[in-house]
Amino acid sequence: MSEGLDIASLNLPALPSGWHYKAVSEIGATGEQPVLTGPFGTNLGRSDFVESGVPLLTIGCLTQGGINLDKALFVSEEKAKELSRYRLKEGDLLFSRMASVGRAGLVPKWLEGALFNYHIMRLRLDEARIDTRLFINYVRGAKQVRDYLKAVNHGATRDGINTEQLLGLPVAVPPVAEQREIVAEIEKQFSRLDEAVANLKRVKANLKRYKASILKAAVEGRLVPTEAELARLEGRSYETGEQLLQHILEARRREWNGRGKYEESASVNAAVPGKLPVGWVWATYAQLGEVTTGFTPPTGNAANFGGETPFFKPTDLDAGEDVHVAREYLSDMGLQKGRKLPAGSVLVTCIGATIGKTGLASVDCATNQQINAVSPAVVGIDCRYLFWWTTSPHGQRQIVDNASATTLPILNKSKFEALPVALPPAAEQHRIVAEVDRCLSIVREVEAEVDTNLKRAQALRSSVLQRAFSVSA
């Protein structure tokens, strides 16, 4: 990257009367080093980090919403004293050295005394010349800053800024009184936007709770009239969940005929809690379909990949009830190492932090070994009902409670097979699925509108800054 450019060479737009361009070096704090890079690795290494203590800010702590400690490290008070020249004060400005200067933060009162690492630069301004709140908003919104970054990064492989370039950054400086007016107006506009965003986020949280309540009601027999209730009102008989389960098991025995010794699927543990609606029965995943754990063909052989069969991994299950696009595809050769699953299979992550993430395959597919799959019986099981049961609070709790209690939770195939499923009559399954789909389609519409408005709020935030620093003579 080139060094900082001379302001006169930048062909900057004219300013309103009373405004002046100043390089950061001209408005920096006097009597001390205005720009300081965090300590080198020779002064601060991994062995210095502790679980709690004095915060050490990293690039990940700098966000558009301000500075947070989500990605902070910590050092002891003794180590912090050794690094006292890197202690922060309220009003200090922090900039990433490895990304654009727009990734910046203003140090609040509660972070006084914290430290910052080598990937961050600290800028300390002369408050008599420029309001630091004005400066941070200028950096985030002014076109002059973006143009300057393009100029100093010309030919660079990645965006960034060094100490000299930060000192050379041109700043449009209004009179002090006008600075305060601009800051007050920006903060007023941002306060309104913050309130709107908070309301939108509350709506999203309420939608999430509403979805959970819909699924809970669905698998407890409270969302639609039960088959038992309708049969009584209509004066007819019906096939109960228990009878349906027996028909499923008999059909699976017949299909197995001639394939060796048939092993009965594990039945539900008698200790399973919860009273079921009339006509329902407890079953297990193993009773309701074929359960398999995925596989991964040798990755060293490119011939195993590039075919037409989607090869799903946990990250592909984000699509939820319509998983059909994969990041990788297997060839026929790759499939020889495992099993091809039919469309309608319920896919459940069985290991790691995303354990319980569930998807419904809408195409024939294969999965890796992080996923357990249930391919439901052909007759009597609505695969979408099985999917909604698995994603319901009841289904998710069973998965989490039965996973191994280690730092890396695991739910192996045998444990997954034995998990209970509340099974309604077939006709009732279809009604439940139809009503869940209807309710959740409304949720999705509202969520889409909320997301659109959140994006609009972010665009308005940028627009406020652009208008504040859009200069003309």
Please write the tens of the pLDDT for every residue from 69-118.
999 999 999 999 999 999 999 999 998 887 666 678 999 999 999 999 99
Q: Is the pLDDT reported for residue 19 higher than 60?
A: yes
Q: How confident is the model at residue 2 (pLDDT cuts 50, 70, 90)?
A: very low
Per the prediction, the chain carries an average pLDDT of 90
- Cα first-last separation, the chain: 32
- Distance from chain centroid for Cα 198: 18
* Alpha-carbon gap, residue 383 to 361, rounded angstroms: 10
Residue 263 has pLDDT above 80, yes or no: no
Q: What is the pTM of this model?
A: 0.77
Helix (H, G, I), strand (E, B) or coil at 15: coil
pLDDT at 148: 86
What does the pLDDT look like over 192-244, one tens digit per residue?
999 999 999 999 999 999 999 999 999 999 999 999 999 999 999 999 999 99
Tokens representing 236 are 């007819």
Is the pLDDT at 161 greater than 90? The verdict is no
Q: Which structure tokens are listed for 124?
A: 């300390």
> pLDDT value at position 338?
87
Question: In which band, very low, low, confident or very high, does the pLDDT at 4 lie, cut at 50, 70 and 90?
Answer: very low
- What is the 8-class DSSP label of residue 125? B
* Cβ atoms within 10 Å, residue 398: 23
CB neighbours of residue 361 within 10 Å: 29
What would the mean pLDDT of 334-349 be, rounded to a whole number?
94
- What tokens were used for 339? 């099993």
Tell me the CA distances in angstroms from 6 to 71, 121, 140, 152, one per residue in order: 36, 21, 21, 11
Q: What is the pLDDT of residues 50-70, one digit of tens each?
A: 999 999 999 999 987 789 999
Lowest mean pLDDT segment, chosen from 127-141, 156-170, 227-241, 262-276: 262-276
User: Does 1 have pLDDT greater than 50?
Assistant: no
Give the total residue count for the chain: 473
The DSSP output letter for 331 is: -
* Average pLDDT score over residue span 132-148: 89
